[in-house]
Amino acid sequence: MKLLAVLAATAALATPVSYVEGQQRADGSFGDAGITAWATLGLEAAGRDSGKAAAFLAAQTPASQTDAALFALARAAAGDRPDDLLPRLRAYSPGKLVNATIWTILALRQAGEPVPRAHLNALLRAQRPNGGFPWLAGGAADANDTAAAIQALRAAGVKGRPIDRAVAFLRRHQNADGGFELTRGRGSDTQSTAWAIQALLAAGRAPGAAAFRYLARMRRPDGSYRYSARYVTTPLWVTAQVLPALARKPFPLGR
């Protein structure tokens, strides 16, 4: 009976936040720099101290524009102004990688910086006829890039038709199980659902209870989340990306 009581108490304490916190290493990281950035964002969204994660990220050299933006976003969310990366973000010349433009905008706004008009115009031009946004300019739109683009556009003050069209695209990716899918026919997954919740909140729309019920079904006893009903993969990354949705906080955090 005592063992059962201990197991029950342990299960009760196993939350998504405690799961992510439990993965942090002595140097402040959660593994590689990318996962560390996502874990930092998740914990900060949940109102928890991310410890030395920002210091770890500040010591890293981002290999790409997207990495620079992600590291800056996480550091700024944790209260560490990324002055070493801001010139790179301001001077960025948008190219084919729409994803990099999205994250550059979000990182600048997280740091309290204005969005250069060239960044915003490039993102608006990337919107596809179906309302969604692609990873690469001219490519097929997907739910995750669309969700991130909605947050970036709203962070830059964009309202109206671009947001309405993107929200409509996103809604078409919600399935009967309440979850959202990356592309049509792929099947619901936890990360796409979390992204959609954040985007809808940023757009001032109700995500609906069904999306949160889907996430609840994906939660595991140790507090982590399955990638989907079929697969358990990269639980730390998945769980870290769920935390802002559970906290009902779109990016940039606190703005």
- Adjacent-strand bridge partners of 136: 97
Residue pair 81/111 in contact (Cβ under 8 Å)? The answer is: yes
- Residue 170 near residue 223, CB atoms below 8 Å: no
Angle CA 5–8–9, to nearest 5? 85
Confidence check: pLDDT of 8 > 80: no
Instruction: Compute the average pLDDT of residues 50-55.
Output: 98
At residue 1, the pLDDT reads 45
pLDDT digits (tens, 9 = 90+) for 156-206: 999 999 999 999 999 999 999 999 999 999 999 999 999 999 999 999 999
pLDDT by residue (tens digit) across 88-119? 999 999 999 999 999 999 999 999 999 999 99
Torsion of CA 126, 132, 135, 137, to 10 degrees: -30
Which pLDDT score, from 0 to 100, does residue 79 have? 97
Q: What is the pTM of this model?
A: 0.94
